[in-house]
């Protein structure tokens, strides 16, 4: 029995440049529907940037009506302020998805790299090139968008390998 097509939005959360990528997967190879970066200028107050992230992501969710949102998990960060800002951006993403009724799945950065390149220690450039190769894109996305597409593809890959049970949502 073939599994039904699935639409997943991948998110690489950050306060100033959040990558977003939409992937549709089914019996054929996964296809990219849209990708981009939600940008918040450095001069914007922190709360304005968080509100903008929410509003823009809510628009993506409404436009694409995904079955799931996949987000990259936390990683070690030496700068406490950076870690807090990242945590706040992730919180906005999680809240926006929850408000839209979209289940969220989290993948460790090393797991995403492993799924894309075969090595958890892969460089960002390697991941971006593999995203292009897997999806047939005619150009390489920006680093943030490539990371978002990679986490969406990781989710699609995991979903395919564990069908029909599914993965655990956050």
**pTM score:** 0.89
Please provide the average confidence, as pLDDT, over all residues in the chain.
Answer: 87
Query: Cα(12)–Cα(30) distance, rounded to whole angstroms?
Result: 19
Q: Characterize 19-54 residue by residue with b for buried, 16 or more Cβ atoms within 10 angstroms of its Cβ, and e for exposed.
A: bbbbbbbeeeebebbebbbbebeeeeeeeebbebbb
Higher pLDDT, 26 or 48: 48
For residue range 143-160, what is the model confidence (pLDDT) as tens digits? 999 999 999 999 998 876
Mean pLDDT in residue range 21-33:
88
- Residue numbers annotated as active site: 12, 72, 144
Query: Cα(48)–Cα(55) distance, rounded to whole angstroms?
Result: 10
Show the domains of the chain with their CATH numbers. 6-162 (3.30.420.10)
Kindly tell me if the per-residue pLDDT of 163 is higher than 50: no
Kindly tell me if the per-residue pLDDT of 166 is higher than 50: no
For residue range 86-100, what is the model confidence (pLDDT) as tens digits? 899 999 999 999 999
Measure the CA dihedral 142/143/144/149, to 10°: 80
pLDDT for the residue 60: 98
Mean pLDDT in residue range 108-125:
81
């Amino acid at each position: 029995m073939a599994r039904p097509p699935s639409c997943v939005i991948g998110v690489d959360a950050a306060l100033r440049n959040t990558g977003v990528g939409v992937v549709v997967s089914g019996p054929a190879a996964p296809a990219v529907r849209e990708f981009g970066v939600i940008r918040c200028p450095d001069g914007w107050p922190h709360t304005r940037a968080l509100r903008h992230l929410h509003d823009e992501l809510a628009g993506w969710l409404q436009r694409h009506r995904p079955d799931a949102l996949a987000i990259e998990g936390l990683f070690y960060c030496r700068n406490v302020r950076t870690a807090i800002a990242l945590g706040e951006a992730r919180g906005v993403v999680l809240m926006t998805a929850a408000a839209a009724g979209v289940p969220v799945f989290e993948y460790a950065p090393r797991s995403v790299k492993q799924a894309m390149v075969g090595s958890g220690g892969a460089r960002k450039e390697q991941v971006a090139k593999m995203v292009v190769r897997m999806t047939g894109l005619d150009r390489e996305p920006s680093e943030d968008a490539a990371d978002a597409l990679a986490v969406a593809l990781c989710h699609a890959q995991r979903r395919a390998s564990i069908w029909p049970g599914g993965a655990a949502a956050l």
